[in-house]
């Protein structure tokens, strides 16, 4: 597959994800903890995250404890959501507990860093509010 074909596939995948967000992204997933992924169309690192982690995240222990909810950075946040500060770039992953921000990961540095950093946030969230 050529580089141009890969780019077209990524654009199409992002368009489909954008449509899903438009149709069903207004409600925050109902769970004790949620991992909110703020992204935007054309975000190269969002696409890398999707390629490396996105398809299997829901199958992981982390995905079971903090289901993923995607939100386009240019759209309104779901109701009842409180962030500590404005999100400035994508991807940004915000760990929410009962709708309140308890931690965030700004950017994506690869799978080898994502899970250990997310696990650190999950441990802190569990310890803060058992």
For the cut 70, the answer to whether the pLDDT of residue 10 exceeds it is: no
Q: What is the pLDDT of residue 31?
A: 57
60-75: average pLDDT = 95
Residue 13 structure tokens: 């995948």
**Alpha carbon distance 87, 73 (integer Å):** 8
User: What is the tens place of the pLDDT at every residue in 100-117?
Assistant: 999 999 999 999 999 999
40-53: average pLDDT = 96
- For the entire predicted model, the pTM comes to 0.75
Which residues on neighbouring strands pair with residue 105, listed in sequence order? 93
Q: What is the pLDDT of residue 39?
A: 97
- Measured between alpha carbons, how far is residue 52 from residues 26, 27, 34, 35, 93 in Å? 26, 26, 20, 17, 15
User: What is the tens place of the pLDDT at every residue in 69-107?
Assistant: 999 999 988 888 888 999 999 999 999 998 999 999 999
């Amino acid at each position: 597959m050529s580089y141009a074909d890969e780019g077209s596939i990524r654009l199409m995948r992002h368009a489909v994800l954008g449509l899903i967000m438009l149709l069903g992204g207004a409600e925050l997933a109902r769970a004790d903890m949620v991992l909110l992924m703020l992204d935007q169309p054309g975000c190269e690192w969002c696409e890398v995250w999707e390629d490396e982690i996105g398809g299997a995240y829901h199958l992981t222990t982390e995905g079971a404890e903090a289901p993923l909810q995607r939100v386009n950075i240019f759209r309104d946040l779901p109701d009842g959501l409180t962030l500590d500060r404005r999100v400035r770039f994508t991807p940004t992953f915000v760990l929410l507990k009962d709708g309140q921000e308890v931690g965030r990961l700004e950017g994506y540095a690869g799978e080898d860093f994502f899970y250990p950093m997310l696990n650190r946030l999950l441990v802190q969230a569990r310890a803060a509010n058992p």
